[in-house]
Amino acid sequence: MARYRESKCRLCRREGMKLFLKGDRCFKDTCAIEKRNWPPGQHGRDRRPKTVGYGLQLREKQKVRRIYGVLERQFRNYFRKAEKKKGITGETLLLNLERRLDSVVCRLGFATSRDQARQLVNHGNVLVNGKKVDIPSVSVNAGDVITLREKAKKVQQIQDCVATVGGRGGVPAWLELDAANLKGTVVALLKRDDLQMPIDEQLIVELYSK
């Protein structure tokens, strides 16, 4: 499976903001954005061209794609599905991405990053309503209960992730975490206001509408 293998911090620097791709490190002073808040590359510090029009739309699309760790073809498919549904296309796109199982596992605090959450899912350590699900792109629904295999619950790293979830922004209101039993529940489907990342989804709609 194709995936990005280079430095994640370069992606944050390219977008000029924290994308929270490295888990706990993003909340520390060692974060690359804190030390080198300019685009990567030999001339990144000296050349800061003004981005307008298509450039703004492209950067917004790349930013969202990198936050959720999906490839270009996957992202385009998400957009096409959002177009076919009733409602605002940009909002539907973001909500569908946020409902991915790997994203929900990360939000619940079972992992510090979506990459780590994706690995948990791929390895068969995540149960949805008591059944093993090893596909990270599966969408959760209201009422779904997300738990971990008994073997995974004993892993100290996962226990530490749950214990420190408050320092990473906490669990969103549309999810409920039972930290003692390492169990999460989708209380309700999220709304656009539940997403706090500075994203202008309308720019993505404009990009794909050309």
DSSP string, the chain: -----S-HHHHHHHHTS----SGGGGGSTT-HHHH--S-SSTTTTT--PPP-THHHHHHHHHHHHHHHT--HHHHHHHHHHHHHSSS-HHHHHHHHHHTBHHHHHHHHTSSSSHHHHHHHHHTT-EEETTEE---TTPBP-TT-EEEE-HHHHT-HHHHHHHHTGGGGT---TTEEEETTTTEEEE-S---GGG--S---HHHHHHHHT-
- pLDDT value of residue 47: 66
Q: Is the pLDDT of residue 2 over 60?
A: no
- pLDDT value of residue 21: 65
- pLDDT value of residue 164: 87
What pTM value is reported for the model?
A: 0.84
Q: Could you tell me the pLDDT band of residue 56, with boundaries at 50, 70 and 90? A: confident
Instruction: Kindly state the average pLDDT of the residues 164-189.
Output: 91
Q: Is the pLDDT of residue 1 over 60?
A: no
How much is the mean pLDDT over the chain? 85
pLDDT tens-place string over residues 13-34: 676 766 666 666 656 667 666 6
Higher pLDDT, 89 or 7: 89
Domains with residue ranges and CATH for the chain: 8-97+197-208 (1.10.1050.10), 100-189 (3.10.290.10)
Higher pLDDT, 166 or 61: 61
- pLDDT value of residue 198: 85
